[in-house]
Amino acid sequence: MLEARLEQANLLKKVVDAIKDLVQDCNFDCNDSGIALQAMDNSHVALVSMMLKSESFSPFRCDRNIALGINLTSLTKVLRAAQNEDILTLKAEDAPDVVNLVFESAESDRISEYDIKLMDIDQEHLGIPETEYAATISMPSAEFQRICRDLMALSESVSIECSKEGVKFACQGDIGSGSVTLRSHTNVDKPEMNVEIDLTEPVSLTFSLKYLVGFCKASSLSGQVKLCLSNEVPLLVEYALANNSYLRFYLAPKIGD
C-alpha cells in the first residue's frame, strides 16, 4: 500500500496547477523511491516529468509499484479543498480503485477526507537519454517567465542563442522584433537572482512560446529555473524542488527555415 504524507499541501497544489493545462490524464507511478509522473501533451511536442522523492514525504511508505491513474481536473477540484498549509496524506491500496487524500489543518482540528476514482491509463512512456547539454543556463524563474510573456506579445516562436557573450532570447513578428540578452551575473545577497551560463559550445534553437509560457506556471515552485540546450534536441526546463525532487518539462524544437 501507499501512504505518503506531505508537510504542506501547497507543493502538490502548485505542481498540479503547473501541469494541468498541458496534460489531462496521468499515471502517478509510486514505488519505494517516491512518486513519479511522465506525460506528453496531446500534440506530442511537450513532456512533463515530475519526481517527488520519498524524502519529500514524512513518512513515506510504498511496498510495491502502484500506478495511480488520475484525471488532473478531478485532482484539481479536490486539491482546491486543501488549505496551502494543510498536511496532506495520500493513501492507496495495492490494487486500488481510488486514491484517498486527507487534509489536516495544523491550527484547527479539521480533517477533510476525499477519494478520487482512478482511471486505467495506457500511457506511452518515452526513454529520455542522459544528455551532456552544450549549454546550461540557471536564472531567476520570474525573469524567464517575464521574457517569455513579453516576447509572446510579438511572436509565436523564440530563438534561444547561447554563446560566450551570454544568452539571447529573440523573436520576430508582424509588428516588429524583440530580444532580451542576459549575461552571467552573481548577486551575493540574493543568490536567487543569479544568472549562470555554463557553455561547452554555442547553441541556437527555436521554440514555441506558447509552451514555454505554459511551463512558467511552475515559477512559484522555485526561485530559479534551469534551461538545458543542445543543438537539435529538445529543451529541458527544470524547476528543482527540495530533497532532489523536481518538475521538468521537455520541449521539441522547431526545425528548418
Partner 1 sequence: TAQQSRLEGFFRPV
Mark 156-195 with x for binding to partner 1 (rule: CB under 8 A) and - for no binding: -x--------------------------------------
Q: Give me the residue label for grid cell 509560457.
A: 213
CB atoms under 10 Å from CB of 248, counted, come to 20
Interface residue with partner 1 among 43, 109, 186, 189 (CB under 8 A) is 43
With a CB cutoff of 8 Å and minimum separation 6, the contacts of 190 are none
* Cis upstream peptide for 59 (omega within 30°): yes
Whole-angstrom distance, CA of residue 96 vs CA of residue 81: 22
Q: Kind and range of the H or E element at 177?
A: strand 177-182
Q: How far apart are CA 121 and CA 137, in angstroms?
A: 35
Task: Say whether residue 56 binds partner 1 (CB under 8 A).
Answer: no
CB of 225 to partner 1, least distance (A): 20
Candidates 45, 135, 197, 216; binder of partner 1 (CB under 8 A) is 45
Q: How many residues bind partner 1 (CB under 8 A)?
A: 24
CA dist 166 → 100, 119, 204 (Å): 48, 46, 12
Q: In residues, how long is the chain? A: 257
Question: Where would I find the beta strands (DSSP E) of 145-209?
Answer: 157-163, 166-172, 177-182, 196-199, 203-208
Binding mask 111-150 for partner 1 (x = CB under 8 A): -------------xxxxxx---------------------
Task: Considering the complex, state which of residue 193 and residue 213 has its C-beta at the smaller distance from partner 1.
Answer: 213
Output the smallest distance, CB 210 to partner 1, in A.
10
Work out whether 155 is an interface residue with partner 1 (CB under 8 A): no
Find the shortest distance in angstroms from Cβ 53 to partner 1.
21
**158, β-bridge pairs:** 207
Candidates 15-23, 36-44, 135-143, 191-199; binding stretch for partner 1 (CB under 8 A):
36-44
**Contact residues for partner 1, defined by CB under 8 A:** 40, 43-47, 124-129, 157, 206, 208, 233-234, 250, 252-257
